[in-house]
Amino acid sequence: MNDRLRDPSLLAPQASDLLRLYRPGANLFASPHRTVLAQGRHAVLTTAANGALCAQAHELLRRVKAEGHVRPLLMGAVPFQPDAPAQLSVPEGVVWGWGVEGLAAAPMSLPAPRLVGKVAFAPTPDDYQAHVAQALAQMHGGHLDKVVLSRSLTIEARIDVATLVRRLAAGNTRGYTFAIDLPGSPEERRALVGASPELLVARHGQRVTSHPLAGSIPRSPDAAEDMRRAQGLLRSAKDHREHAMVVDEVARALRPLCSKLHVPEQPSLVSTSTMWHLGTEISGTVIDPSVTSLQLALALHPTPAVCGQPTQAARDFINQAEGFDRGLFTGLVGWCDGDGDGEWAVTIRCAEVGARSATLYAGAGIVAGSEPALELAETTAKLRTMLRAMDLESVLGDAA
């Protein structure tokens, strides 16, 4: 590996080449316009987001640049909880390549064996619907405007991570595919793997972009029904209210940091293989060039798209109701270089994959007018993104 390719447009390999090179233990982040494949750990940063994370990241990148690295890079993930340790590192070597936009969706089968044992939801489907009902009662009482409730699915299975990453990228050419190596012994190696449709923030030079998503509906295999659902989402007053909460909060957080902030008046439809979303692409110009992409990301995190509103009340309800630790799910994943440029996606449509098991995550935004059964169905549809790529969609059965 090397870190000499400063501009992905110059002599850069194709995304497909880097995806073929990826092996567990490396870190990969692929967006529509660039792909980065990183190997090894030159330095590690585990400071929590509510600590001195940005200052320590800046100092670490400055020191690595002084050591002679042409384009020092900080890469990894930051968890949902502000007091939990980050999983960030400066790699030993980096290769930059073209993005996944236009990547051919070649069929790939997962190598055997795929031994499937126990399947466990946390919370159970019934309990999840009960939590949605409790959240709606809190909203009726004026304590919450929105809360995002999640659930996890743990599967005992042997999953080939390299093939999983390639399949996810081929089906997510307009989104952000990632594989982040997590601490542990080589025998118990784990990786955070996912295909997020949502850009938290990107900074390239002085240009800043954020593309929040909120308001969703599962897709249908029937073309006519699929279009009916998409148009229904565009007309849904409930989903527009939910979306506006997120957009308003993102714009509020960016305005002190950006000039010429452009916020479209109406959202657009964003599609994935399993979902329709409402999305709004917000753009602006960073006022202070020293403000890095990581600083911008932490200024936004967590948005109401993954937590709720008011933020602390929603977080308290999540901690009390969900019954499991989200870990890196609904945090941020991506990279920041020594110049402050970078891309950070919202850590959704993801799983933590180990040698013998995988834990998948999905959530849904609850607002006044939400229906528990429909919110459960939304989380099930979101779980299908990872399960299809694993070739394990059948584990959902009738119990999802």
Query: So where are the chain's domains?
Result: 15-103+117-396
At 394, is the pLDDT very low, low, confident or very high (cuts 50, 70, 90)?
A: confident
- pLDDT for position 184: 73
pLDDT in tens, 180-201: 999 876 667 899 999 999 999 9
Calculate the average pLDDT of the chain. 92
**pTM (predicted TM-score):** 0.93
Question: Is 146 assigned a catalytic role?
Answer: yes
- pLDDT for position 400: 60
pLDDT in tens, 235-272: 999 999 999 999 999 999 999 999 999 999 999 999 99
pLDDT in tens, 11-29: 579 999 999 999 999 999 9
- pLDDT for position 399: 53
pLDDT in tens, 58-104: 999 999 999 988 889 999 999 999 999 999 999 999 999 999 987 76
- State which amino acid sits at residue 60: L
At 9, is the pLDDT very low, low, confident or very high (cuts 50, 70, 90)?
A: very low
Which of the residues 67, 146, 156, 242 is marked catalytic?
Answer: 146
Question: Is 65 assigned a catalytic role?
Answer: no
Q: What is the CATH number of domain 15-103+117-396?
A: 3.60.120.10
At 316, is the pLDDT very low, low, confident or very high (cuts 50, 70, 90)?
A: very high
- pLDDT for position 4: 38
Which of the residues 198, 249, 322, 378 is marked catalytic?
Answer: 198
